[in-house]
Structure 1
Amino acid sequence: MGIRLPMVLAVMLGTAFLLPLPALSGPILSLSEAERLARSDDPATLRYQELAEARREAAISARQLPDPALIMEVMDVARDGFSLEDDTMTQLRLGVRQTFPRGDSRRLASERESAMAQAEAARSSNAELVAVRAVRRAYLMLFEQRAILDVLEKSQPLFEDLREITEREFASGFADQQDLLRAELELSRLHDRVLSVQAQEAAALAQLARWVGQEAILRPLPLELPELAEPTGTLLAHPLLSAEQAVINAGNHGVELARQGYKPQWTVELTYGTPTERGMGMPDRMSAMVMVDLPLFTRQRQDRDLSASVHRREAAQYAWDEQARELQRQLGETQARWQQLNERERRYAEHLLPQARENAEAAEHGYRNRTTDFNSLVRARLTELETRIEAVRIGTQRRLEQVDLLYVLGENA
């Protein structure tokens, strides 16, 4: 039995250094609950909502007339002496001046801001989609690590039985020392895999905590992998395309706004004047003035402004095209992987898992009856273990691809 002592010590030391993980308590944390927590306090979503609200306020402001100007004037004061009472020409004037911007520039500026508000609102919707996608991926990755841990823990008694069988065979003279060492080695490797998966579980917990908070990650997960909605949307529904389309609309308003630069701007002024010398019987006077901008030389300003706005609109159109192509690429790749994983998951459930289990049971029965060698038994057990772990990974990966597919199609369900 001295042969077993180093291996037993290694297993005990490995178990002593298992990573401390939080104790699970409270109600089950479902995927829908995790999504709700992620949506409720996502800074990126809230930031774009604030930017959208700022644009809406600016749209209201842009539609208003400029503030009127108050005119207070002392007119025709004599140069040789400052006196308001002895000079019949000096007047005190009070008036108001109002400017009327060019053409429909106020309406167009307001509509441009409204279009940009729609763009920010669409970016907010995309930020929410990104948050939902991220929390779904973190949730599924955590579920995967815990499912693999469960597989490893349930496999431990099988490998312990394998060691006990080998010990009995060794004591009876039907197994050699190498078989016994191999049984100890596989059990130690199993413990090492538990350590590795626990480290990955801790990393997945940290990822999920970023979206749902520290308290929520202490809650247990359901026993079965959650199923997601079937993807049914279209690329055109994606908020990133909606945002780019809103920028194009804003560019169209910008072009029309630049065209208003060829129209005159009007300013109207009304004043009321009274003489400072009242003894002469001079009456009070009123004045009206109209000022009109004359956009006669447009080559270096209006023409340039219009050309710049047209280029900005064309750039926005190219941005929409680029975004659509990128989403189309992501859709094609993700859909192909998702469909392939669907088929692989089905084959594992219907064929590979039952075959791996039956193969391991047959190998163990053969080893007990001395019709199968030890290496065949170990390979059968390892194959069953790897098949079960791979089935977990394929099921998780299929759902991860479905998460990406739902995001590309602009679906939140």
Structure 2
Amino acid sequence: MDCNVKAKYNFLALSLCLAIGAPALAHTKLESQVIQTASNSSLLESTLTLEQIIAIALQQDASREQLFAQSQATLSGGKAKATLMDPTVKFGFGGVPVDSFRLDQDPMSNISLGVMQKFDRGDTIELQTSQAEQQSQAVLQQAKAREHDVITTVTAVWLELGYNQKAKSLLLQQEKWLKQLINNQDSNYALGIGESQDVIAAQLKLSQLQQKLVSNAQVQQKLTAQLSEWLGREWQAKNSGLQASNQLDWHDLQQTLAAHSTAQTRYQLLMRHPVIQSLDSSLASAQTQVSIAEEAYAPQFGVEVMYAHRQANNMRGEPAPDMVSAYITLDIPLYTGSKQDKSLEAAQYQVGAAKSQRDAWLARMGAQLTGLISDRDHLQHRISHYQSHLLKQATAQLAAVERGYQNNSASFGDIVTSSLTQITIELELERLITDFNLTNNQIANLIGDYSSTSITKAERQEK
């Protein structure tokens, strides 16, 4: 087995491990983890699955890494502030006579060394440490929310790309039928049993269809370009055979929605969203700031110790002893109206603002979830109607026209028209299926409850 084949198998094994362990499609526990970078040669040679693309996207996403780094910076910076103030060292000379500047002349002359340490008010240090952790957690949840967004975006691009690939296949079938119709009408016109306007009308339909194919190719290139945000432009240039799908397995999502059918239980699902958890951490940080502001009313203590060395003799001619001084300082907040009161008031207002922000997000997300579930139900009903009625009716109509053609009661143009109608209905059905999957994808982003095997099962079914 040569090196290239080994590289392919190594990358596939690595990608599978990353997709299972990463938060990629699980949407349940989007835990941050370091994913080993795959070699560029393997990336370019391999046909990537959705699982692998999401794993690579999470690893390559710079915004996510920036938020992780910011979280650590916030934690380290907060803990640096939540420490005792540095002690103050005082060194100097005292009681030195100005006529001689000698230290051994007057018993009061000394060389002194002192240390002063101030302590924060009350439990300020402990509260600042807790606040640093809360602020760091808020940023960390933003990183997890970014993971949600990346997964949702990549999945949406995958679904749209899968739809456009299926749409291209159906449009090519329509093109084939129109070309056959044009050939048939050209023959009839040459035999004098057809009209020129029929040929021109068919050619016009073919031209319009070809424009749809051009537009389809443009959309596919645009969707592939969106994936290059994480996979790179080199991948985009060398990989044109990405096979996507417009439907995934949403069985676990269906079970989750069925188990949380009331507004209250769905509210609990929304509370697990990283954005809400980030806002909860910000709210906790604001509440801690209120406690810190309340500690500002407590006195601030300090301790000062000084040692003085004397070189002169005392009045009895004996060496004067060294001296030690110790003090306790007390900073009493007497004028609190313009400082402590205002700081506490500002902190309390900030708590109210944080609560309002969280409630606004919950209301917005709740409305989005309700609307998406309503869209999902209507799309499901329309898909069922297409599959059980429209598609069967179109198939029956085509079969009837074919029988009529064999009995000389229908023309070849009637067969083409019926075939085009059937393909159009199939195309509309694929659009509904894609919209249904896109809606499920958005719901999953809000409630964050997916099975890691959902896409794997869907891909097996597709194959």
Amino acid paired to 1:245: D
Amino acid paired to 1:305: S
Aligned equivalent of 2:196, options 174, 177, 199: 177
Cα distance between partner residues in 1 of 2:250 and 2:45? 24
Cα distance between partner residues in 2 of 1:51 and 1:257? 23
- The alpha-carbon distance between structure 1 residues 412 and 267, as it changes in their structure 2 partners (threshold 3 A), is farther
- The alpha-carbon distance between structure 1 residues 78 and 411, as it changes in their structure 2 partners (threshold 3 A), is farther
Amino acid paired to 2:243: L
> What secondary structure sits across from 1:130 in the alignment?
helix
Q: 1:332 maps to what in 2?
A: 370
For the aligned residues, what is the CA RMSD? 2.5
Q: Runs (4+) of structure 1 moved beyond 6 Å?
A: none
Q: 1:34 maps to what in 2?
A: 53
Q: 2:248 maps to what in 1?
A: 226
Aligned partners of 1:25 and 1:220 also within 8 Å: no
- The alpha-carbon distance between structure 1 residues 285 and 75, as it changes in their structure 2 partners (threshold 3 A), is same
Once the two structures are superposed, what CA deviation does each residue of 1:134-157 show, in whole Å capped at 9, x if it has no partner?
111111122122111111123322
Aligned partners of 1:74 and 1:93 also within 8 Å: yes
Cα distance between partner residues in 2 of 1:282 and 1:333? 89
- The alpha-carbon distance between structure 1 residues 412 and 85, as it changes in their structure 2 partners (threshold 3 A), is farther
- The alpha-carbon distance between structure 1 residues 171 and 63, as it changes in their structure 2 partners (threshold 3 A), is same
Matches for 1:2-401 after TM superposition, within 5 Å: 26-80=45-99, 82-214=101-233, 217=236, 218=239, 219-222=241-244, 225-228=247-250, 230-231=252-253, 232=256, 234-277=269-312, 281-363=319-401, 366=404, 371-372=409-410, 379-401=417-439
Aligned partners of 1:144 and 1:392 also within 8 Å: yes
Q: CA deviation at 1:28?
A: 3.7
Cα distance between partner residues in 2 of 1:56 and 1:185? 66
Aligned partners of 1:239 and 1:410 also within 8 Å: no
> What secondary structure sits across from 1:220 in the alignment?
coil
> What secondary structure sits across from 1:200 in the alignment?
helix
Cα distance between partner residues in 2 of 1:215 and 1:229? 36
> What secondary structure sits across from 2:296 in the alignment?
helix
- The alpha-carbon distance between structure 1 residues 363 and 182, as it changes in their structure 2 partners (threshold 3 A), is farther
- The alpha-carbon distance between structure 1 residues 353 and 29, as it changes in their structure 2 partners (threshold 3 A), is farther
| Sequence identity percentage | 26
The alignment's TM-score, normalised by the length of structure 1, stands at 0.86
Q: CA deviation at 1:84?
A: 4.1
Amino acid paired to 1:403: N
The alignment's TM-score, normalised by the length of structure 2, stands at 0.77
Amino acid paired to 1:337: D
Q: CA deviation at 1:379?
A: 4.2
Aligned partners of 1:62 and 1:107 also within 8 Å: no
Q: CA deviation at 1:276?
A: 4.3
Q: CA deviation at 1:380?
A: 3.0
Q: 371-380 or 106-115, which moves further after superposition?
A: 371-380
Unaligned runs of 5+ in 2: 1-42, 257-265, 452-463
Cα distance between partner residues in 2 of 1:364 and 1:192? 29
- The alpha-carbon distance between structure 1 residues 25 and 255, as it changes in their structure 2 partners (threshold 3 A), is closer
Amino acid paired to 1:107: E
> What secondary structure sits across from 1:262 in the alignment?
coil
Aligned partners of 2:141 and 2:274 also within 8 Å: yes
Amino acid paired to 1:320: R
> What secondary structure sits across from 1:117 in the alignment?
helix
- The alpha-carbon distance between structure 1 residues 185 and 374, as it changes in their structure 2 partners (threshold 3 A), is farther
Cα distance between partner residues in 2 of 1:225 and 1:162? 33
Amino acid paired to 1:271: M
Q: CA deviation at 1:210?
A: 1.4
Once the two structures are superposed, what CA deviation does each residue of 1:27-56 show, in whole Å capped at 9, x if it has no partner?
442222221111112122212211221233
Cα distance between partner residues in 1 of 2:308 and 2:336? 38
Cα distance between partner residues in 2 of 1:213 and 1:70? 57
- The alpha-carbon distance between structure 1 residues 223 and 264, as it changes in their structure 2 partners (threshold 3 A), is closer
Q: CA deviation at 1:266?
A: 0.6
Cα distance between partner residues in 2 of 1:360 and 1:163? 19
> What secondary structure sits across from 1:227 in the alignment?
coil
Q: CA deviation at 1:304?
A: 1.0
Q: CA deviation at 1:128?
A: 0.6
Q: CA deviation at 1:216?
A: 5.2
Aligned partners of 1:149 and 1:194 also within 8 Å: yes
Aligned equivalent of 1:409, options 436, 447, 451: 447
Amino acid paired to 1:241: I
Aligned partners of 1:338 and 1:402 also within 8 Å: yes
Aligned partners of 1:129 and 1:412 also within 8 Å: no
Cα distance between partner residues in 2 of 1:388 and 1:82? 106
